[in-house]
Amino acid sequence: MANDSIIIKKKKVSGHGGHHGGSWKVAYADFVTAMMAFFMVMWIMGLSDDTKASISGYFNDPNGFMKNPPRSKNVITAINGVNKAKASSNQTSSKDGLGDYQGLSVSTAQEGQLIQKEITKQIIGIPDLKKMLDHIEVSVGQDGIRIELLEDKGSVFFQSGQSVVSPTGRLILKKLSPVLVGTERFIKVEGHTDAQPYAGKVMTNWELSGQRAMAVRQILALTGVPTDRFKGVVGLADTALKIPGKPLSPKNRRVTLLLPWEKATKLNRTQEANRAIKANIAPEAVDKVPSVKPDLHSHD
C-alpha cells in the first residue's frame, strides 16, 4: 500500500455555451452602436439648416467657429417690448438675453447677432442711412458685446480732426439708443484714433479720442439712455488699433460701445418713469448736441 501512487484524473466538461463563448456581447454592442447612429441621423435630419451649418462649421474649424460664430436667422423683431418675437425651440437656454427677452431662449453668443439684426432693422428703413450699415460692426468677445462705429477715408461720424458728431452720426446714435436700452446692459464708451499724429502741439490723439467718446455719450444720454447705464468714457488714442498691421487705416478711427456681460441693475419704477419722460423729450433735444462741447481740451 505504501508503494501505491496517487492518480489524478482530469475530466473535460463540455457545455452548450462552450462553442460561441462571449460572442453575443460583441453582437449586442454592435446593435447598440447601430441604434445610437440611427437616432443621431434622425435627430440631425430634424434640425434646421442654420443649426446643421453651425454643427458642420464647428467640427470643420473649432477655433475659427468660436471666433466668428455664424449669424442666426432667429431674430427678435423688437427689443423694447413693442413686438415680442417667438424664440426658436432649438436655441440654447440662457438668462443673459436681450432686455425684455430675458425669459426667452437666447444665448449670450446669439445676443450679439440679435443686436446686429435690430440695428439693421432700425437703420434700413431710412434710405439715406443704408450705406451707414457698413460702418457699424457688432462682435462678441470675452469682455462683452462691442458695437463699433467705424470711420472711412472721408467723414462719417466726425469731421477729420474734430469731435463734433455729424448730422448723420447723430441720427444713427438716435436709432441705436432704444437698442442699447433694450439690452439692459451697462455701456462703456471708448474713443480710438489711428496712428497719425494730431496736427497740433496742445491737442493730441488722446484728447481727440476722449472728446469723441464724450460727444457720443452725450447724444446717447439725450436720446433715452439712462445716465446710470454708463460705466465709463475713455479715450484710448492709437493704443488699441483695430488693424494693427495697418496703423494708418481709417478703420482704426472709431468709437466703440462696449456692453459688458454684467447686466445692469433693474431700475425702480420712479427711475423708469423718469427715463420714459426723458426718452420723449430727447428727440427734440438731440439737434442741439453740436453746441454742447465736451469738458476736455479744446482745439487750437
Domains assigned to the chain? 128-291 (3.30.1330.60)
pLDDT at 122: 86
Read off the pTM.
0.56
Long-range (24+ apart) CB contacts under 8 A made by 287-292 are: 287/170, 289/165, 289/170, 289/215, 289/218, 289/219, 289/222, 290/164, 290/165, 290/170, 292/218
Average pLDDT, the chain: 74
Mean pLDDT of 71-85: 36
pLDDT at 101: 38
β partners of residue 190:
234, 256
pLDDT at 20: 57
Mean pLDDT of 45-71: 67
Does residue 48 or residue 28 have the better pLDDT? 28
Long-range (24+ apart) CB contacts under 8 A made by 81-85 are: 81/182
pLDDT at 264: 65
pLDDT in tens, 186-230: 999 999 999 998 877 788 999 999 999 999 999 999 999 999 999
Read off the pLDDT band of 64 (50, 70, 90): low
pLDDT in tens, 140-186: 888 889 999 999 887 889 987 889 999 999 999 999 999 999 988 99
Choice among 4-13, 88-97, 127-136 with the minimum mean pLDDT: 88-97
Dihedral Cα 116, 122, 127, 131, nearest 10 deg: -30
* pLDDT surpassing 60 at residue 275: no
